[in-house]
Structure 1
Amino acid sequence: MPTVSRGRDCECSCIACGQPVIAQKSDVYQWYFHHAVETNGADESILHRVGKRSLIAAAGADAPFAAPVSSSSHSNIDSIGAPHEQAWHVPAIGSPVANAQIEAALSSALRANAVIELTEDHGLIAVEIHVDACQRRNRPR
């Protein structure tokens, strides 16, 4: 990648699909390429695809899904200056996956990587798989 130009000037294409890619050459993060046009999931990384397929396999194998305790709070001030505080807490979950649907529509404008249903009654759980390949470069500034 050191020999290609930054951005669209690299005139590069994806080795998997042949579509144009943009060279992201940051001074802070690891360099990478990303598709220049929307690919509707065709540009997902192998790790991203494995994550989704693992949920489908878990549903067929009665394998457990585990999620840690998660809680947080958020505060803000609205347009008339009134403060608002919101807190939430989700207990730990450990239950076999009964069903999994990949690329599930949550609404007309919102889609989850997967929606799973557990054998214990936790309702439906929307899952978004995030693979972060960006690493800080060990270069002095």
Structure 2
Amino acid sequence: MNPPERPLTLMREEAAIRQIEAAIAAFERGLFDVAITLAGAAEGMFDYRKDGTIFDSMLVNPIAQERFSRKEWISILNMERDWLKHSSNKVEPVTFDIDSTAYMIARAASKMPSWTTAMKDFKTWYMVRISQMLESDGVSRTARPVIADDID
């Protein structure tokens, strides 16, 4: 092992972008747990950036509001991230899938004011994925702009 000796100095946004790009790279290799952890860390660096983010839009989803309390819904949205981040007495395995991982990356990216090429490439892939899911589930394409607008 031969890590560099020099220190690394970053601005907050720069660090978050590096985490998101590393999350995308892990995602492409199928390391979904690593991708969720990195994306969750990047998203958490900007807790004050809430308006217009994917998470903000999901919180006010009318179907979810009918079925769950706000606390339950937040718990569902954060399930994989929180399992990786916090201590728990849950002993059974957790499955991380492509869509929950992609959602976490999109959440983190939606907080960034500027996007790198890797983030834009991810968005292109993600929008196709969402379109395919909506079409296969018979969901109206009118639901898509809510998601698309949030990750610009």
Bigger-Rg structure (1/2): 1
Instruction: Tell me which interval the TM-score lies in, with the shorter structure as reference length.
Output: under 0.3
TM-score normalised by structure 1 residue count: 0.23
Q: What's the TM-score once normalised by structure 2's chain length?
A: 0.22
Greater relative CO (CA pairs within 8 A, separation 6+): 2
Greater helix proportion: 2
